Amino acid sequence: MRAQAVVNAAAVRDRPALLARLRATLGRDGVHVTADLAAVPAAARAVLAAGPDVVFIGGGDGTFVRVLAALDEAAAGRPLPALVPLPWGTGNGLARSVGVEATTVT
């Protein structure tokens, strides 16, 4: 399985071990940390260029929605890979609604 991740920098600022574990698992080129919303489209293009089967999205609900929109735009009608929320934000309602709790990925 080929995997990539897009991570909101604010979500891992106080959790360096999470980011280190993700990079150890996916490789340095497999983790795209976005400093702000303006960086998300470039990260989405890089993720899709790698051809992953799954994309992990680290952050909260807003991060997930923004990354999803950028991936959809970058895909230009092609099917998207599977998307998995990593509940590292404030609300995490979307992650909880699909059964992913913060304790399962810390």
Residues 70-103 have pLDDT tens digits of: 999 999 999 999 999 998 877 777 677 777 776 5
Residue type, 55: V
- 10-14, 30-34, 52-56, 65-69: least confidently modelled range: 10-14
- CB 100 within 8 Å of CB 84: yes
Using one digit for the tens of pLDDT, what is the confidence trace for 15-56?
A: 888 899 999 999 999 999 999 989 999 999 999 999 999 999
* Residue 79: predicted pLDDT: 96
* Residue 103: predicted pLDDT: 58
Token pair, residue 15, equals 């959790």
User: What's the whole-model pTM score?
Assistant: 0.90
* Residue 102: predicted pLDDT: 65
pLDDT band with cut points at 50, 70 and 90 for residue 105: low
DSSP string, the chain: --EEEEEEHHHHTT-HHHHHHHHHHH-GGGEEEESSGGGHHHHHHHHHHT--SEEEEEE-HHHHHHHHHHHHHHHTTSPPPEEEEEE-SS--HHHHHTT--GGG--
Distance CA 97, CA 18 (A): 22
